[in-house]
């Protein structure tokens, strides 16, 4: 099987590239290498004979069309996105360009070249906040709150429209919050781990009682891999981690595991439009593929902290340069306390 992966130099994409190669696929990775794309994430497979890297933008219609025509892949797995809510609040335009135009460009190539499989990697954020004690199944109404999640909801609907209108064999996945090695330290878990290591403040938005469902990245990638073979075209599949926790509990666990005290916690101004609770039913993907998450949150967090501890050079390199400017922009104006 030959797979074009978009965004394969990012956090989840690089884990998927490693998994697909290990499973015997040939992989062509198309990535623009934005601030979030990092070829270091793929150092272990860079020389693999079945792996090819193409540096390019998914919004570049000629490049995308030529690549699909030349490679004739069995599947496209589309991860490339501007993936961070806070950045999309500070500046929405990159999210709209990549998440909407980029997805449209890929779908047009899939349609023109009659691709046999197109996996669109969407997110549970398209459902918006889910009132307790409910869970969203795949028919739950979409109610995105941030520019990021609205752009993902738009691309999710666009992808499904290609199945309905043109018969393009699209599958949409909606996963919950991923964590694990190689995640950019703008996201909650790696940010808190890395700040704790450096004895810096851990900025908790609002009251910290927002709930996220944590999914270990390799479990997410196994679900997508299973869906390439077993998923049904035109269908949506939720992929949750069955590990719902309030943010403040995640932060406290990180402090305990890193041997730091709770005096590092800083309550800061809330994220505008902050979704209170995400909760997914993953019954459909479990029933149809046999997939289930295998890594408990305690085990996954321990593995993740160990990885960040052993890879301090990676962290230092990604936190240099633009990261500092982003950090100041996102956090300096948040007043202490709520």
Q: In this complex, which beta carbon is closest to ligand NAD, that of residue 102 or of residue 154? A: 102
Q: Which strands form 244-246's sheet, in the order they lie side by side? A: 177-179, 211-216, 244-246
Q: How far is the CB of 186 from ligand NAD (least distance, A)?
A: 9
Q: How far is the CB of 312 from ligand NAD (least distance, A)?
A: 19
Say if CB 141 and CB 87 are below 8 A apart: no
148 tagged catalytic: yes
Phi and psi torsions of 238, nearest 5°: -70, 145
* Measured distance between the N- and C-terminal CA atoms of the chain, rounded to whole angstroms: 52
Q: In this complex, which beta carbon is closest to ligand DAU, that of residue 78 or of residue 84? A: 84
Residue ranges in 49-78 that form contacts with ligand NAD under rule CB under 6 A: 57-59
Q: How far apart are CA 269 and CA 208, in angstroms?
A: 11
Give the residue among 38, 39, 28 at the shortest CA–CA distance from 2.
28
Asked whether position 169 contacts ligand NAD by CB under 6 A, the answer is: no
DSSP symbol at 269: P
Q: How far apart are CA 338 and CA 333, in angstroms?
A: 13
Q: In this complex, which beta carbon is closest to ligand NAD, that of residue 31 or of residue 275? A: 31
Q: In this complex, which beta carbon is closest to ligand DAU, that of residue 51 or of residue 214? A: 214
Instruction: Work out whether the CA dihedral 268, 269, 270, 271 comes out positive or negative.
Output: negative
Residues that bind ligand NAD (CB under 6 A): 6-7, 9-13, 31-34, 36-37, 57-59, 79-83, 98, 102, 121, 123, 152, 175, 177-178, 184
Active-site residue list: 124-125, 148
Residues that bind ligand DAU (CB under 6 A): 83-85, 123-125, 176-177, 187-188, 191, 203-205, 210, 212, 247, 271, 278
């Amino acid at each position: 099987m030959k797979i074009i992966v978009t965004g394969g130099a990012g956090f989840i994409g690089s884990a998927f590239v490693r998994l697909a190669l290990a499973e015997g696929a040939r992989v062509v990775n198309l990535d623009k290498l934005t601030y979030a794309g990092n070829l270091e994430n793929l150092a272990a497979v860079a020389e693999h004979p079945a792996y090819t890297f193409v540096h390019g933008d998914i919004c570049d219609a000629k490049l995308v069309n030529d690549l699909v025509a030349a490679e004739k892949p069995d599947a496209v797995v589309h991860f490339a996105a501007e993936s961070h809510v806070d950045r999309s609040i500070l500046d929405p335009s990159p999210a709209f360009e990549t998440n909407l135009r980029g997805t449209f460009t890929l779908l047009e190539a899939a349609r023109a070249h009659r691709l046999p499989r197109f996996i669109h990697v969407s997110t549970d954020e398209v459902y918006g906040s889910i009132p307790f004690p409910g869970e969203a199944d795949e028919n739950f109404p979409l109610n995105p709150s941030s520019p990021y999640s609205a752009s993902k909801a738009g691309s999710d609907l666009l992808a499904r429209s290609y199945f309905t209108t043109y018969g393009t064999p699209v599958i949409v996945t909606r996963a919950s919050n991923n964590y694990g090695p190689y995640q950019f330290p703008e996201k909650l878990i790696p940010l808190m781990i890395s700040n704790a290591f450096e004895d810096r403040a851990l900025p908790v938005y609002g009251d910290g009682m927002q709930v996220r469902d944590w999914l270990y990245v390799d479990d997410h990638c196994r679900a997508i891999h299973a869906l390439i073979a077993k998923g049904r075209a035109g269908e949506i599949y939720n992929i949750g981690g069955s590990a719902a926790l309030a943010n403040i509990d995640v932060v406290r666990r990180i402090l305990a595991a890193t041997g730091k005290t709770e005096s590092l916690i800083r309550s800061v101004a809330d994220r505008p439009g902050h979704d209170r609770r995400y909760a997914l039913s993953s019954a459909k993907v479990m029933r149809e593929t046999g997939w289930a998450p295998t890594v408990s949150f305690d085990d996954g967090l321990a593995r993740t902290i160990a990885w960040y501890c052993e890879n301090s050079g990676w962290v230092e390199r990604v936190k240099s340069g633009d990261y500092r400017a982003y950090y100041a922009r996102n956090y300096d104006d948040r007043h202490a306390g709520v």
